[in-house]
């Protein structure tokens, strides 16, 4: 018997009414065969001594899952409708008898027969939830019989924040739950009776119920039905072994590997996994590959569909987007090539993300841009890139935003921001920006992702990260770059890349020790990539690219050609970026400096209104003042 059913029996014996939520549409192996939630729960209630088990849902209304319980229910309802009539008022009956009028006696008999015509008669089909709730409340409040009623999907019949009638419906149902009494003991040979007549609710998502319905009364408790645990999955896989490809010859350790790989799967999903194994010819001996094929449900893997030549030239492709970061580009390109080839040290790491990197270095040097470029290269779609700003996850409860709130808490029905994203788009490049600002509880979630390649949300649904590229960024140590630049500039020297690597690796390691999470740094250390500062030779390249984007914008909107004088612009921007303070801000500072040139172009369009087909020349004079003038196209094209 599953753990939730055992817990339910204990709660019923303690006299509590239960709201069941979670996997209420799954199935379980009971008495040598698969049993639905309805069958198993009815069996549990009968074992508890219920002589009537009723089941209500919005589609079939009131039904009875156990043979003979419908008839017993009708008997009990007839007993309710045949209660003794109230005694007549004092003197009334005596006056009628004194009259000696036989006609009056005949009238009273006729009225009694007429009233009986309109009394509730079994069998009767209760057509409304209000009618069912009313009779359930009466039966549950009676000690003469042991009854149990289950209301499934009540959240689809009554809205949690609905109108007044919906609120009354919940109040009536809770009154039936709390008014239930302990039935009188039955025959000694029968099963022990319920501690109280049971009135239960079963919903897929407890967040759809009003919080007060199950939280404000100590006699009502919530019980979550989780996905099958290891023991249950092991049982299901053993019973389904003949349906798996390679199942007959699989060894015990191979089945155990599949038990671990199917964490979070329901019983229905395990049966579907067996069919996937048969259809896709994926053997049990490759559990991670089998589970991945089943969960992703795609025949085309974009990692393997990359063009071989494009993979070989990945570094060149990325270098066009990210200037001056050859070492970072080479490291990422190497990971893409490894993912494309698909070989490794056995299958132990095949469920882990395709790659994980920890980008550190000065601010504004292309860390985010490289992540976007990778998404475009692999998936052909920059929207495959998703950025999570870790400065928004500095509180402990922020971990729930990533993986979702637990049952009964605000936001439970929405799921987690991270898990939902990966469930919807399993092929993604995920960037976690400024990881050092996240709360340690959030960092623990990342450790699970890096080790196991999966994360289960508050609703029990598992997100698989095996097809994701994970990138963490950090600016730890960046605040000291300005001092390094100033110190070396005073000696007339540049900061060597080796010194930057030593500085940033030491700063990051100290940071993780300060927050008492050295194991996370240990896991990330192989993927640490230190970004270089922007050297002088790279400043002009970034400048040309940004001004090229400005020229494209002018051309597209006004059909005017904008060219810039490279000599004057390069001399000016190089001098500006030689200042250690400006240099420490990286590429963002270059964009900031170029704002003066963009403003000059805007001013020229406002004042001169150049005609379509004309050309403009952008330059900087000796005093650093931007100049825009009509040109004949003789300048260099931006």
pLDDT mean over 483-492: 69
> Which tens digits make up the pLDDT trace of 331-371?
888 878 887 776 665 554 457 888 888 999 888 888 888 98
SS (H, E, C) 525-594: HHHEEECCCCCHHHHHHHHHHHHHHHHHHHHHHHCCEEEECHHHHHHHHHHHHCCHHHHCCCHHHHHHHH
What pTM does this model have?
Answer: 0.60
Half-sphere exposure (CA, 13 Å, Cβ side) for 424?
11
Q: Which of 167, 78, 183 is nearest to 130 (CA)?
A: 167
pLDDT at 28: 92
Q: Please give the DSSP secondary-structure letter assigned to residue 224.
A: E
pLDDT mean over 234-241: 91
Q: What does the mean pLDDT of the chain come to?
A: 83
Decide if 455 contacts 449 (C-beta within 8 A). Answer: yes
Q: Which of 3, 408, 430, 343 is nearest to 211 (CA)?
A: 408
pLDDT at 461: 77
pLDDT at 149: 96
Strand 469-474 with 528-530, pairing? unpaired
User: How far is Cα 279 from Cα 444, in angstroms, rounded to an integer?
Assistant: 37
pLDDT at 93: 45
pLDDT at 8: 93
DSSP per-residue string spanning 30-71: ETTEEEEHHHHHHHHHHHTT-SEEEEEETTTEEE-SSTTHHH
What is residue 202's three-state secondary structure?
Answer: strand
For domain 308-530, is the CATH number 3.40.50.720? no
Decide if 41 contacts 55 (C-beta within 8 A). Answer: no
Neighbours of 275 (CB within 10 A): 13
Q: Which of 582, 549, 587, 543 is nearest to 565 (CA)?
A: 543
Helix boundaries (H) for 301-342: 308-312, 314-321, 326-341
> Which tens digits make up the pLDDT trace of 507-564?
888 988 888 888 888 888 888 888 988 887 889 989 999 999 999 999 999 999 999 9
Decide if 258 contacts 241 (C-beta within 8 A). Answer: no
Show Cβ contacts of residue 545 under 8 Å, excluding neighbours closer than 6 positions.
323
pLDDT at 621: 92
Q: Please give the DSSP secondary-structure letter assigned to residue 413.
A: G
Decide if 329 contacts 352 (C-beta within 8 A). Answer: no
User: How far is Cα 68 from Cα 59, in angstroms, rounded to an integer?
Assistant: 22
Architecture of the domain whose range is 3-85+102-225:
3-Layer(aba) Sandwich (3.40)
pLDDT at 190: 60
For domain 536-631, is the CATH number 3.40.50.1970? no
Enumerate the β-bridge partners of residue 474: 360
443 prior amide bond cis, ω within 30: no
Strand 220-225 with 27-30, pairing? unpaired
> Which tens digits make up the pLDDT trace of 561-595?
999 999 999 999 999 998 878 877 888 889 999 99
Length reported for the chain:
638
User: Percentage of the chain surpassing pLDDT 70?
Assistant: 84
> Which tens digits make up the pLDDT trace of 416-462?
889 888 888 888 889 999 888 888 888 888 888 888 888 888 777 78
24, pLDDT greater than 90: yes
At residue 201, φ and ψ (nearest 5 deg) are -120, 145
User: How far is Cα 4 from Cα 37, in angstroms, rounded to an integer?
Assistant: 11
Confidence of residue 133 (pLDDT cuts 50, 70, 90): very high
What is residue 514's three-state secondary structure?
Answer: helix
pLDDT at 634: 40
**Lookup: tokens for 386:** 């998703």
Q: Pick 556 or 306 by higher pLDDT.
A: 556
142, pLDDT greater than 60: yes
Decide if 622 contacts 567 (C-beta within 8 A). Answer: no
User: Percentage of the chain surpassing pLDDT 90?
Assistant: 31
């Amino acid at each position: 018997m599953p753990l939730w059913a055992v817990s339910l029996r204990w709660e019923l014996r303690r006299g509590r009414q239960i709201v069941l939520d979670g996997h209420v549409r799954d199935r379980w192996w009971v008495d040598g065969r698969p049993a639905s939630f309805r069958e198993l729960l009815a069996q549990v209630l009968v074992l508890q001594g219920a002589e009537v088990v009723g089941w209500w849902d919005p589609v079939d209304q009131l039904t009875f899952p156990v043979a003979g319980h419908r008839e017993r229910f009708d008997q009990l309802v007839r007993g309710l409708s045949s209660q003794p009539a109230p005694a007549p008022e004092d003197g009334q009956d005596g006056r009628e008898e004194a009259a000696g009028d036989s006609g009056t006696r005949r009238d009273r008999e006729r009225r009694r027969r007429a009233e009986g015509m309109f009394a509730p008669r079994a069998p009767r089909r209760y057509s409304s939830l209000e009618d069912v709730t009313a009779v359930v409340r009466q039966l549950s409040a009676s000690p003469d019989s042991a009854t149990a009623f289950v209301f499934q999907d009540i959240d689809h019949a009554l809205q949690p924040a609905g109108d007044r009638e919906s609120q009354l419906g919940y109040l009536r149902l809770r009154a039936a739950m709390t008014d239930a009494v302990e039935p009188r003991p039955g025959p000694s040979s029968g099963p022990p009776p319920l501690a109280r007549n049971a009135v239960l609710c079963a919903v897929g998502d407890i967040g759809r119920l009003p919080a007060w319905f199950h939280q404000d009364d100590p006699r009502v408790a919530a019980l979550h039905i989780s996905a099958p645990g290891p023991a249950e999955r092991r049982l299901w896989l053993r019973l389904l072994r003949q349906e798996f490809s390679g199942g007959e010859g699989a060894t015990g350790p191979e089945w155990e590997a599949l038990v671990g790989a199917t964490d979070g799967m329901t019983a229905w999903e395990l049966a579907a996994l067996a069919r996937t194994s048969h259809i896709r010819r994926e053997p049990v001996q490759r559990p991670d590959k089998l589970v991945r094929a089943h969960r992703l449900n795609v025949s085309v893997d974009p990692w393997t569909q990359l063009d071989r030549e494009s993979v070989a030239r990945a570094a060149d492709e990325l270098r066009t987007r990210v200037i001056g970061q050859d070492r970072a580009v080479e490291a990422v390109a190497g990971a893409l090539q490894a993912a494309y080839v698909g070989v490794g040290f056995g299958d132990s790491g095949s469920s882990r993300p395709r790659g994980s990197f920890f980008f550190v270095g000065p601010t504004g040097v292309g860390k985010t841009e490289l992540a976007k470029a990778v998404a475009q290269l692999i998936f052909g779609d920059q929207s495959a890139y998703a950025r999570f700003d870790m400065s928004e996850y500095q509180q402990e409860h922020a971990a729930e935003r990533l993986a979702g709130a637990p049952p009964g808490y605000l936001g439970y029905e929405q799921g987690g921001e991270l898990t939902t994203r990966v469930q919807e788009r399993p092929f993604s490049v995920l960037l976690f920006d400024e990881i050092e600002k996240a709360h340690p509880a959030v960092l623990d979630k990342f450790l699970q992702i890096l080790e196991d390649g999966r994360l289960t949300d508050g609703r029990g649904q598992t997100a698989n990260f095996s097809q994701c590229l994970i990138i963490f960024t950090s600016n730890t140590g960046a605040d000291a770059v300005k001092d390094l630049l100033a110190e070396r500039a005073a000696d007339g020297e540049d900061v060597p890349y080796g010194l930057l690597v030593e500085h940033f690796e030491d700063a990051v390691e100290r940071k993780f020790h300060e927050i008492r999470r050295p194991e996370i740094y240990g896991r990330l250390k192989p993927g640490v990539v230190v970004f270089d500062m922007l050297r002088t030779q790279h400043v002009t390249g970034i400048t040309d690219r940004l001004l090229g984007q400005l020229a494209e914008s002018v051309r597209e909107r006004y059909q005017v050609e904008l060219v810039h004088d490279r000599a004057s612009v390069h001399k000016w921007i190089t001098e500006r970026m030689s200042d250690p303070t400006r240099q420490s801000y990286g590429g963002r500072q270059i964009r900031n400096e170029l704002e003066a040139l963009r403003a000059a172009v805007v001013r020229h369009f406002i004042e001169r209104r150049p005609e379509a087909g004309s050309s403009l020349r952008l330059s900087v004079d000796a005093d650093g003042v931007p100049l825009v003038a009509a040109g004949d196209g003789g300048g260099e094209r931006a």
